[in-house]
Structure 1
Amino acid sequence: MPRGERPLDEGDTPLLRFAADLRTLRDQAGGRTYRQLGTRAHYSATTLSDAAGGRKLPSLAVTLAYVQACDGDPGVWESRWREVAAEVAPPEDTASDQGSPPYAGLAAFQPEDADRFFGRERILDDLVGRMADRRLVGVFGASGAGKSSLLRAGLMPRIAEGAFECTSSIVVTPAELDLSPEVLDRVIGTEVDALVLVVDQFEEVFTLCPDLAARTAFVEALLTASRTRCRVVIGVRADFYGHCAQHPGLVEALRDAQLLLGPMSAEELRQAIMRPAAKVGCTVETALVTRLVADATGQPGVLPLVSHALLETWRRRRGTTLTPAGYEAAGGIQHALAQTAERTYTALETDQRAVARQIFLRLTALGDRTEDTKRRLARGELDNDDVDTQVVLDRLAHARLLTLDRDAVEIAHEVLIRSWPRLRGWLNENREGLRTGRQLTEAAATWDVLAREPDSLYRGTRLDAAAEWAARDEVRLSSREREFLTASLTARNREQTLALRRTRRLRQLVALLAVLLVLASGAIVQTIRAQAVADKQRNIAVAQQIAIAAVRMGDSNPTLAKKLSVAAYRLEPTRDVVDGLLTTATATWSDHLVRRVVPRDESSMGPDGNPVRGRGQAAGLDGTSEPDAVRSLGFTSGDRVLAATLDEVWDLTDPTKPVFLHRFPARVGSVALAPDGSRMATIDADGSTTVRLWEMADPKAPTLVSTVARPGIRGREVRFDQSGQVLVTIDADSTTSLWRLDSPSGPMVFGELRSIPHVATMALSADRRLLATGGVDGTIRLWDLTDPKRPTTLSELSVQADGIKALAISADGRHLASAAGSDTVRLWDITDPRRPSEPATITGPTASVHTIEFLPRGAAGPNTTVMTSSGDGSSRRWDFDEASAAARLCEGASLSREEWQRFFPGLEFVPPCG
């Protein structure tokens, strides 16, 4: 199918098919423009465009010239033309019946149509009666209610017939008066009371004039004229009633002088349908009258649709009779107008459709909380010398979609805006863009009126918005708008170029001054920088010395130790100073010592099962006789703290009052609680090869659920992962095994690490992908367990201490805690296990530590707080959060100015805890 053409259907006439084939021929010739065809055919571009429009059959001479310009065969097309001419020629018996249609279609009835204007006699009498008593009368009604026809074809002839003492009348619109009091004065003239001024479409006062002052001046001039020089009748769309109420003078003048025009009654509709047809010798079938009355009765704003549907039905009449079949073919009230508009639009060429779209958008005034309205457009706003524009205007006017006069163009009736889906879609696509275009049109007109004054050009954001809108494919600007926008962009580019030159000169000047300034101040900068470096080094040295001193006096003078640790930390928080702060905070933390030694045997327990003070036996420090040392900790979901020794299970929820829960039948060689306290694992003493698993639903009576046996290999150490579903064991041959406990067939090995020297303790991450091992050689190794059967080493941490006593990985897998025999507890950052780092180290008693655990979040602090249990029966908390440590040390103690001068001589006093 040729570019831009619509498909033919069964309803297309021979004339439409002939026009479509002409357009196809033009496309086959390379899509030549009509100007190019006109040069070859020696006919105007408009004439050739009309020939392919399908509105009427072109003459044979024009057709042959068109065909020759498109390199077609004249002989073939002459035969074709004669066939079509024979088909479209009117029959002899009906050719004489062709005359002026009895219906106005979308256009309002004019004074010369008074003999065809029926159905409004009663409301017209009411209007004439009101005008006899009032100087100004307002006629209000919905768009399409027939206000313009009532005023023009009804009231104007009545005035001419002498309904008043004055027989002279003028009908105008605000747009025609240019909303100017001066133009209004010239139109009225000098005769007093000898004129009736009819102002139709009065809502244009509000849609076309955004300036409140100018609008008020026009309304006041009209009111003055109605009181002194003429009678005034205004026709106003009903949805602008509230706008009229904003003018007090208009409100007063319209008091008891308002006529509300509603829908026609059924009888009035019959008169309006039948009597115009009878005037031209036609009849309307009763069934059609009944159908139209049923479709239109009680419908506001339906009269233009009725008139248009009747006009299209008249064109499809059978002889002199308007039939229901013709009405249906026209599309009825609801679709006749849209059908006419769509048919006219789609018959246009592709480029002409773009022109039509812009014309309709320019002819529509966007409503502000009201319906969109039509807008009278001056011809100067269009490119009148453009062939496509002339063709489109002619086609739309012939279809009675537009009305044209010498100076202006407007939509025939606003009902077209509501009834044509394509136009509604255009308006709804980008209403803000349409407002931008309307503002551009007005600005271009103002620029032209002011002799193209440069100061009236667009600048800034308005220019950006207009340029962006104009760049869209569907936008077509008039020549004046293009010139205005081009001039604005050129002016901006020129201003930017000048500004760039000024900026470049200023930059050169600034650069020169900067060089001079650098040369002049270089010595000063170097001096200041050297002084800053010296001050920094001095502060670091002082802070480190004070931090060491604070740690040393932790036992002898804990209060001063707290003050000095915080002061050193506030001065320069280096790594050594932070370690000193954490060490002092731990040493002076009254709550860090969680529990004292518990009884080792039943002889040390009272009748209630709780320990009796002073009857416990001290634990040894050689690592072999420490049955009372806590070997494992568990934190239940109910914030309950469980602890297991080699003999017993205890409740340490209240650290000041340990509660005995359970005693093993025989001492075990190793014990481990799941982190959530739900399970327990034990290794029997005396060289046993069996690991026993216990459920801890009732910690007072653990239930044996299964065993893990390693024939011939004695177990040395046992540990759970974070979920309690994986068990890690270390055997006497330093083999580390990973056991899955959730297998239906019982515990089973799913990963092993063999031949690892000196392994004494381990920790498994929550995701089971990272294992940390350590032992007497003071080296911590991190293992990748992505493939548990083939673990790989990620990194090694050489602590160089007296052996690694215990390890723990935080629940989030970001930190590793280690306790070594050199009185240090270290926190490692293992976010990247291939490159771990050591954020902090706390010094404290760790010689006989058996276990280390991270406290749960929310239980006793953040995830950087750990708990260790030692062979002396005590459990200690170690807090690696430097902020909370500093805050705790500041409680009740702050370094005074005198103390500051004593320990920090020559440094400016800054209260450490201020």
Structure 2
Amino acid sequence: MDVGDSPLLKFAADLRSLRDKAGGHSYRQLGARAHYSATTLSDAAGGRRLPTLAVTLAYVRACEGDVAEWEDRWRQVAAEVLPADPDLDEGHPPYAGLAAYGTEDAEWFFGRDHVLDDLEQRLAHRRFVAVFGASGAGKSSLLRAGLVPRVTGRVVVTAPSETADPDLDADLLIVDQFEEVFTLWADVEQRASYVDALLTARCKVVVGVRADFYGHCAQHPALVEALADGQLLLGPMGAEELRQVIMQPAVKASCTVETALVSRLIADATGQAGVLPLMSHALLETWRRRRGTTLTLAGYEAAGGVQHAIAQTAERTYTSLERQQRALARQVFLRLTALGDGTEDTKRRLPRAELDDDVDVDVVLDRLAHARLLTLDRDSVEIAHEALIRSWPRLRGWLAEDREGLRTMRRLTEAAATWESLGRDPDALYRGTRLDTAVEWTQRDGVRTSAQERDFLAESLQSRDRERLLAHRRTRRLRQLVALLAVLLLLAGTAVVIAITAQKEAAAGWRSSAAWYVANQSQSLRSSDARLADQLAIVAHDLNPNDETRNGVLTAHATDELDTATRAAFASAQALSDPDREQDPLRRVLGPADETVTSIAVNGAGQAFATTAVDGRGKVWDVTDLTPEVAHTFDFPVDRIAFDPARARTLVTVSELSGVVVWDWSDPAKPVEAARLTDQPHRVVGVVHSPDGRILVTFDVMGVVRLWDLSDLKAPEPLVKLDTGRDITSVALSHDHRTLALGTAKGDVRLYDVSAPADPAELWSGRAHRGAVQAMGFDRTGDALATVGTQDVVALWDVSDPRQAVGRGRVNGLTEGVYAVGFGDTATDVVTSKSNGTTRSWEFDYDTAVAEMCAEVTAHITREEWQQYVGAVGVLDYDRPCG
């Protein structure tokens, strides 16, 4: 047999080789280990057909093989030997996939009869009913394919994104995706008007609402009253209901379903909230891989099952695009997602005009729609179902990379549309900080703006240049006026005081303008002549000493700093560096360039570190030797991971599957589960140890922060529960465990006193960054706090009095990928660690920064350079800033 004949034969041959390497056990001996018959295992390695995934993994475990590696191999082979057959796709598919069942699909809709009976009874006695349910519970299908066919008379089905003026001329008005009132409309009056129109309508009204927006509905008193006894909660389907969903459409399509597949689907879906679109998509992909007229378990596993089918379809469709088309697809998905604020991310209906009229854009939309990932109509585009946002790791990774940048994009899109609707009114243009933030965002890698947005920013920049020119002219006229006053004062002694005062003000204004001009010259020379740029930054501060020019010098100093390869991440408040960056193991184990690392943690001894990737793989790496090795790979998807920075024996993982798990990893190759932190009703999105490793801090999507005592690994003790109601993005606990710092997605920093665990008290809050706070850290004394923002700013705060934090400096520099921040030898030496295995120092002491910058100067500013860059703003004697 030539093992190269087919992927299936090669797969079978490798299974036999695995058995030989394990000692050549007989199939009867393997059967006793794998709990399958010898015949089943022999057939698995025979190559006549692909064994099921369960049999394959049992065979591999019995031979002590790598289970994760063989599962990947099985899925690759399954995709080749169990492909979707296009010849079988004729006719109406019995399953809707990600899309909701519409009114035209009523004959294919099953499983919700008792819920529909209940809903009809409520409508018979009430004029207004709300159906609440988790995303993916089937609300849209229930209303469109279930309720509409049962109603006599005129029925209108709409959504807030389709119209802001509901059609009330009907017997029954169904408003699907009612939560769009809160996600799409910022105008409170518009929301109230829409809600009032529904509540006062003469027709009967049914609204479908995502359950996590229940609290938003409470903001409207009249709506609260209407919901008092007019709400229906749609929960997960039971086993019999799921059986109908699986079997009845297949029977209608003259197909059969293997009993093993029915049992497997019910086991995978029972009791799971939001599982229906995942199951429907998995069934659709299984139907495409059917064997004749039979839907098989092997086809289901080849499709990826409930957990992986959507991600598999999305990933396959995405990777089949050309390179430039993949970049377009990324931008399309980001624009189609509305970021949650205390709620999960949701889909967003995108006007077609928001995308450029481009052939590649049309190709991308067509391919994604053909894969049923998007739905298109004449004027708009939207994601087929929010389950795609939850289930596709690549999309979750995109959304996690730069959430504040996505909010900047959304604000820019809305501002550009408003400007266009107002006839390009100059008063609607961006100015000041908003313009700077938007321009900075457009310069990031991978960012793509629409033609309307580009026109809007270009006009905003031109308007700013015109305003600056006018300001410069006004300043020149003021200086001329001062000169005239000086002459007049010689003739009018009574005007001396006035003249002196005006001259001082003019001098101050001149020095301010001069400093601003020199600072701009410094920035423009940064990439071409860093030596000269440094000296000009110091001159600008000498001309007008203030916080802005001081920060300019600190930024120049930070720009000169090089990233340093590291093996530690502030285990002892000072990063350890290796001068040979190319040989450092951290640079060589993060994976290929296209693999996104979502989190990284380094143990206190610098002997090991852990990573999680966008596809959910979590690994622990041993770097005690120069060549890193994988010490352990977790067999379940891991979202976040954290090491004990001090004791070097505790590891914490966070995942949707297992929640928060504390591991004893005294043996790095075999971490042992010590305990699970079960009191976590919502998805945990962050986990951080205290500097001594004794306290663990977790925070979830609802803004609830918890502190846990890990003194006894097997019985962690809950210490503090703090319900902030904020979108928390980072936390830090002081070395004495008394002060807790929280950073939010809106750039706020909040300090809490947690010395009394039963009664934590807020001490101070303030705006620290324009974007999200992505890392925080206290110095050892607890008197200084460093914060890192997503918009490329590192800030230092004096928190010696935590009730009145004082800013000590803001330094601009690249902060992308920063996951931790700490301090070096002094309370002004801030050090950040990035996920690419490097650290960078940020000095906040002005004298130290100037001394270090001047020490590197080998050629002082010349008289000619002084005249060109400093003398241009007025008469100023040549004075070298570095002596």
Q: With structure 1 as the length reference, what TM-score do the two structures score?
A: 0.44
Q: With structure 2 as the length reference, what TM-score do the two structures score?
A: 0.46
